[in-house]
Structure 1
Amino acid sequence: MVAPDERIGPAQTGALRLRLSLFYAGFFAFLGVQQPFWPVWLASHGLGATEIGVILALSIGIKMFSAPLAAHGADRSGQRRRSILVLVAGSLAAFCLFALTNGFWPILLISVLFYALWPPVMSLTESLTIMAVQRASLDYGRTRLWGSTSFIVVALLSGQVLVWLPPSAILWLSLACVAATAAACLFLPDIRTERSPLHRGLPIVQALRIRALSLSLAACGLIQGSHAVYYAFGTLHWQAKGYSENVIGVLWAEGVLAEIVLFAYGGRVTRHLGSVGLITLAGIAAVVRWLGTGLTDSLAAVVVLQALHAFSFGAAHLGAMACIGETVPASLSATAQSLYSGLVWGAGLGLMLLASGWLYHGLGGSAYLAMAAVALAGTFVALRLSALTPRLPQP
């Protein structure tokens, strides 16, 4: 156990990085199976396109409510690891129930249970990681990159395996990843904080009163939300351009690899640019990326634009994590992470995904131009944050 305000010595830093990296590898391995292939499993159990859309939207939207509730309990107690273990055990039990169900309504009910428990595991562990950055001078990017690496490796391997196996195998691959994540959680550090003071009100209200945090969440919500057309229709857009499946696969992989490279140098970049500089850079990169993607037919240009994923996604994420570490007291760190999860990845991306279908249906590839406008709005919010906030000291 690491008591509140206790520093972690250099001798422990390597082991700490390994324990956290194992968690990220397990959690993102699950996403490497789920994101590409879970709709296939749902379809094999009789769900139509609309029903699958409801399930996928639910998986994003429910975290807006479950993550803050879980964070409230963690900040009140000051014990993140205990909350994580309860949530991941519940997630594992809930996911096992998918093996016993068929049809839309039973799957919907189990999805509500699972996605209420699973996303808060990430936000609470992120708060542990940020505390480790502060107390042990841990490099966040080099720890988090194992998640991105795991995602791309598992997605590619799963695609190869599922060529030979039936859709039912998707469930068992996913379950194995949930179990691996649960096992990794047993080794997470027990870094504790002071309990969030009752007299100051609800933790979520206390966190939102931090102006720099609120503005950074708004900026990141717009910048990350501007990826909606890419996430939902990137493959269809490239198919319409005549790109082969192999080329499309390489383009997707390129974006993740670029993200991994940035994370590898994340500590150095964060010290140089600061949190506000990273978020501003992300907004500018997103504007350039979506303008170019919407206007060009050149494969060479698309290859260059895909490398900007390192900044449009990666820099925004690093900037948000740095801002939370710089501006939020440890007693509210879980709540701040839950707000990032719920507002940026729940409300921001979720709403933009809903809008992306209408935009792509009406505009085709020009929908990317609308995403550039969204990213530009996020950039202006980041500049507003820069004007209000002097460059914060880096750990």
Structure 2
Amino acid sequence: MPSSSSPEFQLRWLRACYFFFFAILGVLVPYLGVFFDARGFDAQEIGSLLAILMATRIVAPNLWAMVADRTGMRASLIKLGAFCAALTFISFFFEGGFWYLAISLTIYTFFWNAILAQLEVITLETLGDNANQYGAIRSWGSVGYIVLVVLAGVSIERLGAEVLPYIGMVLFIGLLICSMPLPSTKAAVLSGSERPKLTLDKPIILFLLSALLLQMSVGPFYGFFVLYLKQVGYSETFAGIMVAFGVLAEIGIFLYASKLIGKYGLRLLLIVSIVLTSVRWLILGYYPDVIFMLVFSQTLHAFTFGLTHAVSIQFIHRHFGIHHRSTGQALYASLSFGVGGALGTWVSGYIWGDGSGAAQVWLFAATCAIASAVAVMFIPDMNGKSQHS
């Protein structure tokens, strides 16, 4: 049995943390729109509330990363974030208007956003020279997402949307329990005068721009995919199965991502993945009632998230020095999933309107994806080198 200080012991609990973190995402992202709809909010209000979910990723990860890089207490921040997120999520059990839920979302996601960037850094540093095994560890998050997106869809269809806070609370407590065994050893920390200066050069700036545009294109999927399928005539259970099918494809590509990166490099894989993402949104816009096309579009989630994320994590690992990796992960999360996701979700709410603009939402998404691919084409020194300073 591995000792509590061994890499295998740590990786075991990191897998569990990924499972619960993304299980929470599998409940909240596809079904929060349904939950808010059941509480009587209109499309613009839903879009604004979901944008808050994304927008807290703009500020929170950077604040937590600043603390992590200066204290080295990455595992402790994961535990603190999990505890405070579980505590503040209790607010979802109570009825409230738009501003009540807006404040609730802001508070609990502020703490929740302390977690992922630190998980990514700890995982990559624990793997060390075996960083190419990241996809296999991260795939446990995808498994958690699949399991809960299906279970939540069935539960909501049978018990109603008010079951969501109960499911969410169980998962937050699970995340907290699994974070506790992570060793609270401090990473090496340099003094301010010794710390290398972080420079955002052209490759990093263009990469972050492309990530922002890509997540703008995914914003409609996060906020309105289940509602869109319901409008077309599908059930919540079927919508959950479709979301889970996409994540199943994501797991498959995670397992092969390291081989693909080694063979084709970062740029080609990122461009191909983003172009296929644009195709995916066009299919959703024009053929949502054709089940074969809908299933095919969900298969492309392997590229929309799976391969783009694996490539992006490698890009950050290579272009940010060891003393700035929490900051690198936070910038990636805040500008892409934060700014990009919030803008995409917010704009989608206005395009959606009373539901008559539902198909146009996916044209907006496809346009954002193409713009993201163009940005990638201009990134110099895309492959970079893993830094150690």
TM bucket, shorter chain: 0.7 to 0.9
Partner of 1:316: 308
Q: Is 1:305 the equivalent of 2:297?
A: yes
Please state how far the C-alpha of 1:153 moved relative to its aligned partner: 0.8
Gaps in structure 2 of 5+ consecutive residues? none
Q: Would the aligned equivalents of 2:219 and 2:340 in 1 still touch at CA under 8 Å?
A: no
Partner of 2:142: 148
Alpha-carbon distance in structure 2 between the residues aligned to 1:36 and 1:113: 20
Q: 1:160 to 1:372 in 2, by over 3 A?
A: closer
Alpha-carbon distance in structure 2 between the residues aligned to 1:136 and 1:189: 20
Q: 1:163 to 1:247 in 2, by over 3 A?
A: closer
Kindly provide the CA deviation profile for residues 274-299 of structure 1, in whole angstroms up to 9, marking residues without a partner as x: 33333222222123323343344643
1:73 to 64, 67, 76: 67
CA RMSD of aligned residues (A): 3.2
Q: Would the aligned equivalents of 1:32 and 1:155 in 2 still touch at CA under 8 Å?
A: yes
Q: 1:200 to 1:43 in 2, by over 3 A?
A: farther
Write out aligned runs for 1:163-242 (5 A): 163=157, 165=159, 168-190=162-184, 192-195=186-189, 197-199=191-193, 206-207=197-198, 209-238=200-229
Q: 1:209 to 1:199 in 2, by over 3 A?
A: farther
Give % identity: 27
Alpha-carbon distance in structure 2 between the residues aligned to 1:15 and 1:393: 29
Q: 1:128 to 1:49 in 2, by over 3 A?
A: same
Alpha-carbon distance in structure 1 between the residues aligned to 2:207 and 2:303: 16
Alpha-carbon distance in structure 2 between the residues aligned to 1:260 and 1:71: 27
Alpha-carbon distance in structure 2 between the residues aligned to 1:254 and 1:66: 31
3-state SS of 1:226 partner: helix
What is the TM-score normalised by the length of structure 1?
A: 0.84
* Paired AA for residue 172 in structure 1: Y
Alpha-carbon distance in structure 2 between the residues aligned to 1:304 and 1:44: 30
Gaps in structure 1 of 5+ consecutive residues? 1-10
* Paired AA for residue 281 in structure 1: V
1:357 to 349, 352, 357: 349
| Higher alpha-carbon deviation: 29-38 or 103-112 | 103-112
Q: 1:281 to 1:187 in 2, by over 3 A?
A: farther
Q: Would the aligned equivalents of 2:30 and 2:223 in 1 still touch at CA under 8 Å?
A: no
Q: Is 1:373 the equivalent of 2:364?
A: no
- The number of equivalent residue pairs is 381
Q: 1:91 to 1:280 in 2, by over 3 A?
A: same
1:325 to 313, 317, 325: 317
What is the TM-score normalised by the length of structure 2?
A: 0.85
Q: Would the aligned equivalents of 2:18 and 2:141 in 1 still touch at CA under 8 Å?
A: yes
Q: Would the aligned equivalents of 2:157 and 2:237 in 1 still touch at CA under 8 Å?
A: no
* Paired AA for residue 84 in structure 1: I
Q: Would the aligned equivalents of 1:275 and 1:323 in 2 still touch at CA under 8 Å?
A: yes
Q: Is 1:279 the equivalent of 2:270?
A: yes
Alpha-carbon distance in structure 2 between the residues aligned to 1:43 and 1:370: 23
1:344 to 336, 343, 347: 336
Q: Is 1:129 the equivalent of 2:123?
A: yes
Please state how far the C-alpha of 1:272 moved relative to its aligned partner: 2.3
Q: 1:287 to 1:96 in 2, by over 3 A?
A: closer
Q: Would the aligned equivalents of 2:153 and 2:239 in 1 still touch at CA under 8 Å?
A: no
1:32 to 22, 26, 30: 26
Partner of 1:6: none
3-state SS of 2:113 partner: helix
Alpha-carbon distance in structure 2 between the residues aligned to 1:43 and 1:254: 24
3-state SS of 1:265 partner: helix
Alpha-carbon distance in structure 2 between the residues aligned to 1:195 and 1:256: 37
Please state how far the C-alpha of 1:188 moved relative to its aligned partner: 2.6
Kindly provide the CA deviation profile for residues 71-127 of structure 1, in whole angstroms up to 9, marking residues without a partner as x: 101111122112222222222222235446745544443332212111121122112
| Higher alpha-carbon deviation: 188-197 or 78-87 | 188-197
Q: Would the aligned equivalents of 1:134 and 1:325 in 2 still touch at CA under 8 Å?
A: no
Partner of 1:109: 103
Please state how far the C-alpha of 1:141 moved relative to its aligned partner: 0.9
Q: Would the aligned equivalents of 1:128 and 1:191 in 2 still touch at CA under 8 Å?
A: no
Alpha-carbon distance in structure 1 between the residues aligned to 2:57 and 2:47: 16
Please state how far the C-alpha of 1:191 moved relative to its aligned partner: 6.2
Please state how far the C-alpha of 1:58 moved relative to its aligned partner: 1.6
Please state how far the C-alpha of 1:132 moved relative to its aligned partner: 2.5
Please state how far the C-alpha of 1:332 moved relative to its aligned partner: 0.7
Q: 1:130 to 1:281 in 2, by over 3 A?
A: farther
* Paired AA for residue 261 in structure 1: G
| Higher alpha-carbon deviation: 316-325 or 227-236 | 227-236
Alpha-carbon distance in structure 2 between the residues aligned to 1:238 and 1:173: 22
Partner of 1:5: none
* Paired AA for residue 307 in structure 2: A
Q: Would the aligned equivalents of 1:131 and 1:330 in 2 still touch at CA under 8 Å?
A: no
3-state SS of 1:120 partner: coil
3-state SS of 2:265 partner: helix
